[in-house]
Amino acid sequence: MISTSILNSFNFLADKISAKRKIFLTTSLNYIDRKHDFACSGFDYVRYATLELLSYEISEKKIGGSLAELGVYKGEFAKWINKCFPDKKLFLFDTFDGFDERDVANEINNDFSKASSKKEFSNTSVNEVMAKMFYPENVIVKQGFFPETARDVNDTFCLVSLDADLYDPIYNGLSFFYPKLSHGGYILIHDYNNDTYKGSKNAVIDFCKKYEINFIPIPDTAGTAIITRP
């Protein structure tokens, strides 16, 4: 049997090494007596574990509404949204061709980022994303410039992921989805603490200040702000 002093020394050393390398360990969900589909993954654990927890909250509280993601890229986060909610519609909004010039112009003019519509996040496709979905029959792809692609969408929503990086689509996403958010529902805004794309944080702050809405930042990769509707 290993002594307590040896275990404490090992934990201290492991903590020092992991902190120096910016690797952080957690047993966050180990105390919940249920199966975890993906939250045990070490890659961006906080983000995926948060999604899993919110999916259980929505299910247990019977919060109605569809799902959406604005800024899908290759569909890595969208596929787990789809996995967590096998009986709900999932709207996917993206150009699937990188940033739009209209969003980029405001981003550069306000010095939020040095985004380029010609290079960033264009190496994807609808087919690539759809191939990753667990329940593709529930997925509705809205390809093009947002919010134009949302004109015919009148659903209410229980969970929305905004991962469009830039100020305009994030602010427009909040303006569109928050009024349609079910009571008790959630909006996750990624890149809130990403200094490469400062437009995301500025959009959240401006929107929440205007409408007197509170939000919670969490320490996942690049940072996420979470808004809920009481």
Q: What is the pLDDT of residues 157-201, one digit of tens each?
A: 999 999 999 999 999 999 999 999 999 999 999 999 999 999 999
Q: What is the model's pLDDT at position 177?
A: 98
Q: What is the pLDDT of residues 23-69, one digit of tens each?
A: 666 666 667 777 666 655 557 888 998 999 999 999 999 999 999 99
Determine what percent of the chain falls in helix, strand and coil, rounding each to the nearest 5. 40, 15, 45
Query: Is residue 17 situated within a structural domain?
Result: no
Q: What is the model's pLDDT at position 33?
A: 75
Q: What is the model's pLDDT at position 10?
A: 55
- Provide the number of structural domains found in the chain: 1
Task: Pick the closest to residue 126 from 162, 90, 97, 84 (CA basis).
Answer: 97
Q: What is the pLDDT of residues 69-115, one digit of tens each?
A: 999 999 999 999 999 999 999 999 999 999 999 999 999 999 999 88
CATH of the domain at 166: 3.40.50.150
Query: Is residue 21 situated within a structural domain?
Result: no
Domain with 146, as residue range(s), is: 29-228
